């Protein structure tokens, strides 16, 4: 298993299969990119099926035991089931999706080996949902969540980005997962540095405090130093509870200190951090020897985003660490 100089073992990889998406979410930094007609073969700028599998086979050599396929919308790849089926057996396979193609493909993907799924759902009202996603696919997403549960995926995590437009929907979403068996809620802190809209940011600690008041039980998860809140519904039996987890990376050095993933872009570049694009390393023509060396280099050069790449100045504000840029990154 590969370990970076901060002692973080790399146990998982996130592989983007495309930057195309059939949604145009207002908080996304890749709005409305590419051909969105439906699932199709890999496009010119996307890794081929064999490229993805070859990388995963190399990652497995280094004892990586989990892969999450992402996008864009990964289900716009026609070959998704084949990729999942050819993923090394030792790897747990999960998927992040907007859910619109799940009604037709959930069974196929589970048969191929899909074990977990995260479905983006930022609101429970069709009009609110449309305002955030710029999409009229609300009912289709609900069908997709149901299809995932029917196919045996349990739990199904609902991903909700929490920012100015969605913060008021949190109580209803929490109640929703408490009412419905098999659903969990993942509240994702809005990242203004990726989208350039700092005015949309909210104080995520207020969400933590509110959940702590509602929760019957609070757990601590080592991965990214996350908290899990177990919340009961007023009318449900005590045994029926919903799990709510907050993903809060912004200005959070502890979050970065517990990161154990390397990412792969849809073009075939390895990167050590989601927030950075100055650490991209091409896997070349995808020979296994090149991938092995590039993977080692990527892990060796991983730096926590907050606390190393970004540091606090005298006013407590986060800014790029010039010493890192001029020194460590230039070597």
List the one residue out of 325, 314, 316 whose CA is nearest residue 276: 325
Highest mean pLDDT: which of 3-7, 115-119, 282-286, 313-317?
A: 115-119
Residue 225 above 70 pLDDT? no
Q: How far apart are the first and last CA of the chain?
A: 24
Q: Categorize the per-residue pLDDT at 192 as very low, low, confident or very high, splitting at 50, 70 and 90.
A: confident
Report the pLDDT value the prediction gives residue 118, as an integer from 0 to 100.
Answer: 98
pLDDT in the model for residue 36: 64
Q: pLDDT tens digits for 68-91?
A: 999 999 999 999 999 999 999 999
| Spatial distance between the Cα atoms of 319 and 228, rounded to a whole number of angstroms | 30
Report whether pLDDT(226) > 80. no
pLDDT the model gives residue 37:
67
Q: Quick one: pLDDT at residue 194?
A: 64
pLDDT score, position 283: 92
Q: What is the average pLDDT score of the chain?
A: 90
Is the CB of residue 270 less than 8 Å from the CB of residue 20? Answer: no
pLDDT above 90 for 196: no
Q: In which band, very low, low, confident or very high, does the pLDDT at 327 lie, cut at 50, 70 and 90?
A: low
Average pLDDT over residues 24-34: 69
**Selection from 159-163, 310-314, 321-325 with the highest mean pLDDT:** 159-163
**Is 328's pLDDT higher than 70?**
no
**pLDDT mean over 220-247:** 78
CA atoms within a 13 Å half-sphere pointing along the CA-CB vector of 151: 24
| pLDDT surpassing 70 at residue 262 | yes
Residue ranges of the annotated binding site for GTP are: 14, 68, 96, 157, 261-263
pTM of the predicted model, to two decimals?
A: 0.92
Known binding residues for [4Fe-4S] cluster: 21, 25, 28, 256, 259, 273
Binding residues: 14, 21, 25, 27-28, 68, 72, 96, 120, 157, 256, 259, 261-263, 273
Separation between Cα atoms, residue 246 and residue 207, nearest integer Å: 9
- Overall domain count for the chain: 1
Reply yes or no on whether the pLDDT at 56 is more than 60: yes
Counting beta carbons within 10 angstroms of the beta carbon of residue 237, is it exposed (0 to 12), middle (13 to 18) or buried (19 or more)? exposed
- What average pLDDT does this structure show over 88-111? 97
Residue 224 is predicted with a pLDDT of 59
pLDDT in tens, 306-316: 889 988 888 88
Does residue 143 carry a pLDDT above 90? yes
Q: Return the top range by mean pLDDT from 39-43, 235-239, 270-274.
A: 270-274
Is the pLDDT at 63 greater than 60? The verdict is: yes
> How far lies 230's CA from each of 113, 118, 120, 171, in Å?
29, 18, 20, 13
Domain residues for the domain of 83 are 2-329
pLDDT band at 236 (very low <50, low <70, confident <90, very high): low
Provide the pLDDT for residue 92: 98
Q: pLDDT tens for residues 274-322?
A: 888 888 999 988 899 999 999 999 999 999 998 899 888 888 888 888 8
Whether the predicted pLDDT of 221 surpasses 80: no
Q: Is the pLDDT of residue 271 over 90?
A: yes
Alpha carbon distance 25, 23 (integer Å): 6
State the binding site for S-adenosyl-L-methionine.
27, 72, 120
**Strands, E assignment, 167-303:** 183-189, 217-221, 226-232, 241-247, 261-264, 269-271, 281-282
- What is the per-residue pLDDT for 153? 96
Q: What is the CATH number of the domain that holds 259?
A: 3.20.20.70
């Amino acid at each position: 298993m590969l370990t970076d100089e901060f002692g973080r073992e790399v146990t998982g990889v996130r592989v983007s299969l495309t930057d195309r998406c059939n949604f145009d979410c207002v908080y996304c930094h890749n709005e409305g990119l590419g051909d969105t007609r439906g699932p199709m073969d890999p496009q010119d700028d996307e890794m081929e099926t064999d490229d993805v599998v070859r990388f995963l086979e190399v990652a497995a050599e280094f004892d990586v035991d989990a892969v999450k396929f992402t996008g864009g919308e990964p289900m716009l790849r026609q070959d998704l089931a084949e990729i999942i089926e050819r993923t090394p057996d030792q790897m747990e396979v999960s998927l992040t999706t907007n859910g619109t193609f799940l009604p037709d493909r959930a069974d196929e993907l589970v048969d191929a080996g899909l074990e977990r799924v995260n479905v983006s759902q930022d609101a429970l009202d069709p009009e609110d949902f449309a305002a955030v996603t710029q999409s009229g696919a609300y009912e289709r997403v609900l069908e997709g969540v149901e299809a995932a549960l029917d196919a045996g995926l349990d739990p199904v995590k609902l991903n909700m980005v929490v920012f100015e437009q969605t913060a008021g929907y949190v109580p209803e979403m929490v109640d929703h997962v408490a009412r419905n068996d098999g659903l969990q809620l993942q509240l994702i802190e809005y990242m203004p540095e990726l989208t350039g809209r700092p005015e949309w940011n909210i104080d995520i600690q207020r969400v933590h405090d509110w959940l702590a008041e509602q929760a019957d039980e609070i757990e601590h998860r080592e991965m990214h130093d996350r908290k899990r809140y177990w919340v009961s519904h007023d009318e449900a039996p005590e045994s029926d509870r919903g799990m709510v987890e907050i993903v809060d990376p912004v200005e959070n050095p502890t979050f970065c200190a517990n990161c154990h993933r390397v990412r792969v872009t849809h073009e075939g570049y390895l990167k050590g951090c989601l927030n950075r694009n100055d650490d991209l390393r091409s896997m070349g023509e995808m020979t296994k020897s090149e991938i092995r060396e590039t993977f080692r280099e990527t892990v060796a050069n991983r730096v926590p985003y907050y606390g190393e790449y970004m540091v606090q100045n005298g006013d407590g504000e986060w800014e790029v660490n010039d010493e890192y840029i001029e020194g460590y990154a230039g070597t």
